[in-house]
Chains A and B, each alone.
Chain A
Amino acid sequence: MLNRRLARILVYLAVILMLGCMLFPLFWLVRVSIDEDLFEHPAALWPPLSSIGFSAYRTVLTERYVGNWYLNSIYVTLMTLVVAIPTSAMAAYALSRFRRPETVAISGIILLARMLPISLLTIPLYVLFAKFGVLNNLICLVIANTTFAIPFCTWMLKGFFDAMPVELEEAAEIDGCSMVGGFVRITLPLSLPGVAAAGTYLAVVSWSEYIFARTFMTHPSGWTVAVGAVAFRQQYLANWNAIAAASIVFMVPLLVIFGFLQRYLVKGLTAGAVKG
Chain B
Amino acid sequence: MGLALMLPTALIAILIVAYPTYVIIQGSIHDEGILRLSYDSPLTLKNYQRFFRNWRFLQPLIATAIYTTAVTAFTFLIGLGSALLLHQRFIGRALARSLALLPWPIPMSIVALMTLLVIDPSVGILNLTLTKLGFFARPVSWVTSSSLSMIAVCLAAIWKGYPFFTITLLAGLQGIPVHLYEAAHIDGANAWQRLRHVTLPCLRPIIAVGLLLQVLWLIKDFTLILIVTNGGPNGATETLGLHVYRSAFEFFRMDYAAAAGVMVLLLAAVLAVLALRKTRI
Q: Do A and B come from one complex?
A: yes
- A residues near B, CB below 8 A? 8, 11-12, 14-15, 18-19, 22-23, 25-26, 28-29, 32, 38-39, 42-43, 86-88, 90-91, 93-95, 97-98, 100, 102-103, 106, 109-110, 112-128, 131, 143-144, 146-147, 150-151, 154, 179, 204, 207-208, 210-211, 215, 225-227, 229-230, 233, 238, 240, 243-244, 247, 250-251, 254-255, 257-259, 262, 266, 269-270, 273-274, 276
A113 — which chain B residues lie within 8 A by C-beta? Answer: 13, 17
Is B107's CB under 8 angstroms from A254's CB?
yes
Q: Is the CB of A11 within 8 A of B85?
A: yes
28 residue pairs from A and B, CB less than 8 Å apart = A14-B85, A15-B86, A32-B123, A43-B132, A90-B5, A109-B18, A118-B221, A119-B245, A120-B261, A123-B27, A123-B244, A123-B248, A124-B19, A124-B20, A124-B21, A126-B248, A127-B35, A147-B17, A208-B108, A226-B108, A230-B112, A233-B113, A238-B120, A254-B105, A255-B102, A270-B171, A273-B167, A273-B171
Chain A residues near B258 (CB-CB < 8 A): 120, 123-124
A73 nearest CB neighbor, chain B only: B107
The residue on A at minimum CB distance from B36 is: A127
Interface of A is mostly: helix
Alpha-carbon gap, A109 to B22, bound state (A): 13
- Which residues from chain B contact A226 at a C-beta distance below 8 Å? 107-110
Chain B 120-146: CB-based contact to A (< 8 A → 1; otherwise 0): 101111001100100000000000000
User: What is the minimal beta-carbon distance from A229 to any residue of chain B, in angstroms?
Assistant: 6
> Which residues does B use to contact A, with CB under 8 Å?
1-3, 5-6, 8-10, 12-14, 16-21, 23-24, 27, 34-37, 81-82, 85-86, 88, 90, 96, 98-110, 112-114, 116-118, 120, 122-125, 128-129, 132, 159, 162, 164, 167-168, 170-172, 175, 205-206, 209-210, 213, 216, 219-223, 226-227, 240-242, 244-245, 248-249, 254, 257-258, 261-262, 264-265, 268-269, 272, 281
In angstroms, Cα B17 to Cα A143, docked, is: 11
- Given known pairs A28-B125, A117-B264, A117-B268, the reply for A128 and B107 (CB within 8 Å) is no
Instruction: Specify the chain A residue showing the minimal Cβ separation from B249.
Output: A215
Tell which of A19, A109, A210 touches B109, judged by Cβ atoms closer than 8 Å.
Answer: A210
Which one, A11, A19, A98, A276, contacts B281 given CB within 8 A? A276
Query: Contacts A123-B24, A127-B23, A150-B9 given: A250-B110 contact, CB under 8 Å?
Result: yes
A244-B117, A262-B101 given; A120·B107 CB < 8 A: no
Contact in complex: A227, B168 (CB < 8 Å): no
- Report whether A274 and B102 are in contact in the complex, using a CB–CB cutoff of 8 Å: no
Partner of B220 from the list A88, A109, A117 (CB cut-off 8 Å) is A117
Q: Measured between alpha carbons, how far is A144 from B254 in the docked complex, in Å?
A: 18
Complex formed: what's the CA distance from A276 to B208 in Å?
9
B254 contacts A102, CB within 8 Å? no
Given A210-B223, A230-B227, A251-B110: A204 and B120 interface contact (C-beta under 8 Å):
no
In whole angstroms, how far apart are the Cα atoms of A150 and B16 in the complex?
A: 11
